[in-house]
Amino acid sequence: MIPAVSSADALAPSFTAFAGMQRVASGSLPAVAKALAPWHGRPDTLLLFDDRSGSPVDVPPPPGNAAALAQWLQALQPDAAQDHAPSTDEVPARRGVGRPRLGVVAREVTLLPRHWDWLGAQPGGASAALRRLVDAARQQGAERDTRRLARERAYRFMSGIASHLPEFEEAARALFAADPGAFDARIDAWPPDVRAHLRWLARDAFEAAPA
């Protein structure tokens, strides 16, 4: 059995491939492409999913065509194709004297005069106040956003591979209703690999049970 990606690797780019209802590869794009080479030409339907979003993506081309493989890597994950590109020795630009660049991006913000008046009166000025407000909102909504993204990720995967399975609609409703018991019950009869991967993708979709 192909192990699911561990929680520690949840933020790393990873992909999972299925042949029919069987999970046959999981990992980086180059690793998945190599693992799928023996499966090309078999009658099983190959499906590949991005574990970060749950979305289906194009499967790798059949082995033997290096150009097509490089193009596939570049299209799905540009960083993965860097290993196959010629290296260049570039001299890094010298950093000038002064404050370090913080990656600040300037964009237009439209507010009413009273908003600008309040922001201008805050310590550090309007920009610093806006950054503090955004950071505070992100912290307060972090758990909610994590659950929402997990539900969307799980739904994309189950829609791509399991829409024909029994009680699919009931499972989707339980997922978005944040009912883990009903969700587990609805998918319990699904193929083991599909069920296991779906549960892993949905691991953050539900609120933690009270102690």
Q: Where are the alpha helices (H) located in 26-112, listed in sequence order?
A: 29-36, 66-76, 78-81
Predicted pLDDT at 124: 83
Does the predicted model carry a pTM greater than 0.75? no
pLDDT by position in tens, the chain (length 211): 333 444 434 445 699 999 999 999 999 999 999 999 889 888 778 999 999 999 999 999 888 788 888 888 888 876 554 544 434 444 444 444 444 455 667 778 888 888 888 888 888 888 888 888 887 777 766 788 899 999 999 999 999 999 999 999 999 999 999 999 999 999 999 999 999 999 999 999 997 654 5
Predicted pLDDT at 11: 44
Contact 183, 150 (CB under 8 A): no
| Residue corresponding to tokens 């970060």 | 52
Q: CA-CA-CA-CA torsion for 108, 114, 119, 121, nearest 10 degrees?
A: 140
Predicted pLDDT at 207: 79
Closest to 183 in 3D by CA, of 197, 169, 193: 169
Show the beta-strand stretches assigned E in 43-127: 46-50, 56-57
- 123 vs 119: CA distance, rounded Å: 9
Tokens of 34: 């190599």
